[in-house]
Amino acid sequence: QDVPYRRSYDLEEEHDNIECTWIEVLFPKSKGIMIGNIYRPPDTSKYLDSDFNDKLDEVLNAVSDEKKEILLLGDLNCNFLESACKRQLKRVFSMHGLKQIIQNVTRITKSSASLIDIPLSSNPGRIIKSKVIKK
pLDDT of residue 72: 96
pLDDT of residue 47: 56
Domain harbouring 40, CATH code: 3.60.10.10
**Residue 16 amino acid letter:** D
Report pTM.
0.86
Q: What is the distance between the alpha carbons of residues 122 and 77, in angstroms, rounded to a whole number?
A: 21
**Residue 88 falls within a domain, yes or no?**
yes
* Structural contact between residues 56 and 92, judged by C-beta atoms closer than 8 angstroms: yes
Q: What is the mean pLDDT of the chain?
A: 87
pLDDT of residue 5: 92
User: Does pLDDT of 54 surpass 60?
Assistant: yes
Number of domains in the chain: 1
Q: Which residue range(s) make up the domain with 104? A: 5-126
User: Does pLDDT of 36 surpass 70?
Assistant: yes
